Amino acid sequence: MTLLMALLRSAYLAFVVGFTLAVSPLESLWSGTAAGQGATVPVSIVAKVFMAAWLAIGWIAFEVVVAWVRVWLDARARRRASTAPAPAAPLPPP
């Protein structure tokens, strides 16, 4: 279940990053031509929306990292448990 959640979070993060980049008018904002063409939305408001989007992406990325670390630690614990030597039998009394 942990692996499934890590995979779902990774896929969602990839989707959100791709969607944010696809709908972002980065060329218009960074070229300076948006102000000259009579943009209907002030650039400061768009910048705040982008900041909120990237903060959300940052939080999702943090969750993805935590999920993958948990998957890695769980797998490591399982490997150690499977390769641990069997406990020695107690010695018979003399």
Per-residue pLDDT of the chain (94 residues; tens, 9 = 90+): 678 888 888 888 888 888 877 777 766 666 665 555 655 667 777 788 888 888 888 888 898 899 899 999 999 998 888 886 766 667 777 6
Tokens of 33: 């031509």
Summarize the chain as % helix, strand, coil (round to 5).
Answer: 80, 0, 20
Domain ranges of the chain: 2-83
The answer for residues whose C-beta is within 8 angstroms of residue 12's C-beta and 6 or more apart is 60
- pTM for the full predicted model: 0.57
3-class secondary structure per residue, 32-61:
CHHHHCCCCCCHHHHHHHHHHHHHHHHHHH
